[in-house]
Amino acid sequence: MDERAFILVVDDQENIRDALTTLLGRGGFRVDTAHNAHTAIARARDSSPDLVLLDVVLDESTPSALSGLDVLRAIRTLPRFIPVIMLTSYTEWQVESLGQGAIAFCTKPWDANALLSQIRSTLNAVAQIRQDAIRVSTDAPQGDIMIQVADVEINMTQYRVTRQGIETDLTPIEFALLAFLARSPNREWTREQLLNKVWGYEWVGYERTVDRHIAAIRRKLRLERDELIETIHGHGYRLVI
């Protein structure tokens, strides 16, 4: 059985599909491609890829043709969570794609190393989420697996976070980071430890990456500084309850 991560590439330009297939193949991934929205949705549903690289602008030959954002919304409705990285040449689509549930965007022409790093860090984060879900499953054998901290509820089955009943759209890495901290409340973690535990041991990055993600979580959950997630100056972070 081939255990390499499986990526679906969706783009209406054959040369781009071919280039990404070669790049990803050399990067150690299995790859399938789709040239239009309907094929992409069917393959995402039937083959359940580990990640989708999706062009924002697909076939524009007819006004009724589905766009990449339509595909993104369809993927978001599938029962199994599939992270999506959007491909776009247009900056105006970047915020829109993130708002629709994409975890990141890659600007064409892409930087090969940056794209591969983004894919690997995303897959590591999703794997961490699923491992955490397995760890807590014995405490919630029926229904969704939940972690409750203060007024924040983390749904480990549906990959959703709510605060006071209001859902917050976190990226997979933000979700994995929050869930990891919530699994060990009141325990201090250094930035290096969090990089290793959440991003994975192969992640090559800066410790300030953790700071940026903590800041994003606080902003999205409308947390005051040191509310729920406390900064340990010169050290790292802990989730306090």
Q: What domains are defined for the chain? A: 6-110 (3.40.50.2300), 124-239 (1.10.10.10)
Question: Can you tell me the mean pLDDT for 10-17?
Answer: 93
Mean pLDDT for the stretch of residues 166-170:
86
How many CA atoms, within 13 angstroms, populate the side-chain half-sphere of residue 149? 21
| Structural contact between residues 8 and 53, judged by C-beta atoms closer than 8 angstroms | yes
Mean pLDDT of 184-188: 93
Mean predicted confidence (pLDDT) in 155-171: 85
Residue that wins the pLDDT comparison between 198 and 16: 16
Distance from C-alpha of 195 to C-alpha of 191, rounded to nearest angstrom: 6
Q: Could you report the per-residue pLDDT of 201-220, keeping only the tens digit for each?
A: 455 456 677 888 899 899 99
pTM, to two decimals: 0.68
Predicted pLDDT of residue 61: 67
- Residue 62 or residue 106, greater confidence: 106
Cβ count near 133 (within 10 Å): 18
